């Protein structure tokens, strides 16, 4: 589990068909083999640590669901270590399980803030609400507006400088993860509605069954 608060940006040192090698600095404090690290919002397991570089394996499912398959040597990536129970939750609960990718449609500036509009598939938009949370390339961001096909987020100058979002351009793809709480609420409501059948209501005294004979 992560918070969506990026600790630093790392650099892709090498890429293979099933693994990434990433150089960094800050996250090596207490980093161990087997630990989870979010790379552009994707939860990956550390398989090797050597000389300020760590390796992670990437499954085919991850490559299909995210933008990791497009990474090349020299690219920058957002990094965050997994949460600890004693840490602060500065963003929101992020699993590191990407729902889908979105495309940056528009970039505007309003004072010191950068407003980014991101086109998103229906499967993600169903969970997007104004003033709610969404993780974009691992960043916990607040939704400032939405339509049926896209949503808007606002980036302060610190976020632009300290993450990869400040280098994004119109047309770039980003990893999206909707708020897990919204998914649980939807699942609960679907299960609840499916159980409210005529037979269930009659059995519990809310309606009566009349005989047709």
DSSP output for 36-66: EEEETTEEEEEEEEETTEEEEE--HHHHHHS
Give residue 144's pLDDT.
96
Shared-domain flag, residues 76 and 116: no
Shared-domain flag, residues 12 and 74: yes
Shared-domain flag, residues 69 and 140: no
Q: Give me the number of domains the chain comprises.
A: 2
CATH number, position 156: 2.40.30.20
Residue 129 has pLDDT above 70, yes or no: yes
Give residue 194's pLDDT.
57
Distances (CA, A) of 50 to 13, 75, 81, 138: 12, 19, 17, 24
Rounded-to-5 percentages of helix, strand, coil across the chain? 25, 40, 40
The pLDDT of 184-191, averaged and rounded, is: 78
Shared-domain flag, residues 187 and 111: yes
Shared-domain flag, residues 106 and 39: no
pLDDT in tens, 131-154: 999 999 999 999 999 999 999 999
Range of 180's domain? 100-192
* pTM for this entry: 0.86
């Amino acid at each position: 589990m992560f918070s969506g608060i990026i600790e630093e940006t790392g650099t892709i040192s090498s890429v293979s068909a099933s693994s990434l090698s990433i150089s960094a600095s800050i996250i090596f404090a207490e980093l161990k083999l087997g630990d989870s690290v979010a790379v552009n919002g994707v939860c990956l397991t550390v398989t090797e640590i050597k000389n300020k570089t760590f390796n992670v394996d990437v499954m085919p499912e991850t490559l299909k669901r995210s933008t990791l398959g497009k990474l090349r040597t020299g690219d920058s990536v957002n990094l965050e270590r997994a949460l600890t129970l004693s840490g602060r939750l500065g963003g929101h609960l992020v699993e590191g399980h990407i729902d889908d990718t979105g495309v940056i449609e528009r970039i505007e500036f309003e004072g010191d803030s950068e407003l980014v509009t991101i086109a998103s598939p229906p499967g993600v938009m169903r969970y997007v609400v104004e003033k709610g949370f969404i993780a974009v390339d691992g960043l916990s961001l607040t939704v400032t507006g939405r339509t049926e096909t896209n949503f808007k987020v606002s980036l302060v100058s610190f976020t632009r400088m300290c993450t990869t979002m400040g280098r994004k351009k119109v047309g770039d793809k980003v990893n999206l993860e909707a708020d897990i709480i919204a998914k649980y609420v939807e699942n609960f409501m679907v299960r609840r509605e499916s159980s409210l059948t005529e037979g269930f209501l009659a059995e519990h005294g809310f309606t009566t069954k009349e005989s047709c004979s």
